[in-house]
Structure 1
């Protein structure tokens, strides 16, 4: 070996030999750095001050309550109408009609305006109008420029007060639901969640799933929808809210005119009933000739939002368990460490009037179904026995 080559080899050997000595202080310094947990615990924040917006409350002559939060930062006004009543406060025979109600209010036109004329006016005045509902309530809102407030309220009132429930739109909605029922089994995830709700909640509105009997023409037609509408959209069920560039002195007469001819409720709604949750360990299997499994597991959660002091702890616990993506324990263990699934998450429901449930859900290869299920149960047991 030539002298220059020998010299380079010696220098390289000396450099490599000195690396542990060079790196030792860095490794030692790294070991003394605070962990992310230590850093989080060490965070300090100033006193949190929350100043809620000033809300003005007024009861109209008709008896309807109005809440107003003035905000003159933009020339916009949003009006919201909430009605007590939904499919959970009606018999099962009205399930389809009550579910269809928000969609048909938006798409079914009024007694004066056909559906396409409603669409034209919404576009002409640049209105954002929404309709929706849940088990125990139905709602609608409209957002408008302040300068279009009067025509916006008039159109919104016409839709809410004088719905056409166009028979063609009713049939379109019904046909779409029937097609959804026929295709339900094609989506393993949707099928699993649907069956889980039925098994967990039984014959309760939370566990109801639309079926062909619900959509029978005797149950789902123009008259059935109008009957449900009449029970929900009446004066005593209504609360109004307004936010935006308007004052109570200006909006109250407009709302008074809006509700002045609204009929009183003629038939009471059913009282809500809490679900009877399934308890005890059970395994339910839906055989499908596919290469992937959907796993849904759950148990009663023991937390009610309105009365339980552990409500906020449950929100943090659910985030740590599986609701916070890659920083949650389930995704770290099931996906990152073991590679069993692309996605895994948790859900901890906390209803105001009943006990909620704790749920974990994932999809994995058929061959790893048992292993993924056991690992999820292990992580949930760790959360119970060794909480963070």
Structure 2
């Protein structure tokens, strides 16, 4: 009997709770009456444009939030100019430009040098340009920039690194039609 009474009490409590909740309706507010707080003002800094006597253009943007110096240099020339018989050449070039090192240091020596300083230097080939980019602490900038200058003026395309990059590119070429987005991008570039 006690058990039946406790079940009855729970059942009645649930029914009362459900009936109370079903009678409460949330206040409907028209979306046009919702107050939207104003956005904080945003004033982006404009980069400083510097043109060197040799025609190179530098865009300098200062950001003092962290003691880092990041940079990117773009050189005209990319996969758009590579012949059909040499598909993937710019990708191999972009990879080996960094991994091959310079005339004075191998790519592995550069890896060790940069790793100790928590810096990075990366190169890549694109559709219309090749790129070298870097990120380093402000204190290490002079040393890292010497590597950038060395890679720009005296890159060394070592044969072993070229072979590694070729193997990777053969794999990329064999799989490039696996992604329909990649097909569409390549065809769109041809049309432009």
Tell me if the contact between 1:87 and 1:94 (Cα under 8 Å) persists in the aligned partners.
no
Q: 1:33 aligns with which of 10, 26, 29?
A: 26
Tell me if the contact between 1:102 and 1:138 (Cα under 8 Å) persists in the aligned partners.
yes
Cα distance in 2 between the residues matched to 1:83 and 1:178: 25
Cα distance in 2 between the residues matched to 1:139 and 1:61: 21
Cα distance in 2 between the residues matched to 1:178 and 1:158: 29
Superposition map of 1:347-362 within 5 A: none
Superposition map of 1:1-388 within 5 A: 5=1, 9-10=4-5, 12-13=7-8, 16-17=11-12, 19-29=14-24, 32-33=25-26, 42=34, 44-179=36-171, 184=175, 192-193=178-179, 197-198=182-183, 201=184, 206-207=186-187, 273-274=190-191
Shift of 1:197: 4.5
Shift of 1:144: 2.1
> What secondary structure, in the 3-state scheme, does the structure 2 residue paired with 1:142 have?
strand
Shift of 1:79: 2.0
- The unaligned stretches of length 5 or more in structure 2 are none
Cα distance in 2 between the residues matched to 1:28 and 1:100: 70
Shift of 1:69: 1.5
Shift of 1:124: 4.3
Normalised to the residue count of structure 2, the TM-score between the two structures is 0.78
Shift of 1:151: 2.0
Residue of structure 2 in register with 1:259 after alignment: none
In the superposition, relative to structure 1, how do residues 13 and 171 fare at CA in structure 2: closer, same or farther (>3 Å)? closer
The RMSD of aligned alpha carbons is 3.3
> What secondary structure, in the 3-state scheme, does the structure 2 residue paired with 1:67 have?
strand
Q: Deviations over 1:16-63 (max 9, x none)?
A: 34643332121232xx3379xx88x94623134211024211111222
Tell me if the contact between 2:88 and 2:173 (Cα under 8 Å) persists in the aligned partners.
no
In the superposition, relative to structure 1, how do residues 52 and 164 fare at CA in structure 2: closer, same or farther (>3 Å)? same
Tell me if the contact between 2:71 and 2:133 (Cα under 8 Å) persists in the aligned partners.
yes
> What secondary structure, in the 3-state scheme, does the structure 1 residue paired with 2:88 have?
helix
In the superposition, relative to structure 1, how do residues 124 and 50 fare at CA in structure 2: closer, same or farther (>3 Å)? same
Tell me if the contact between 1:125 and 1:152 (Cα under 8 Å) persists in the aligned partners.
no
Cα distance in 2 between the residues matched to 1:171 and 1:118: 19
Shift of 1:164: 1.1
Shift of 1:99: 1.5
Cα distance in 1 between the residues matched to 2:118 and 2:11: 72
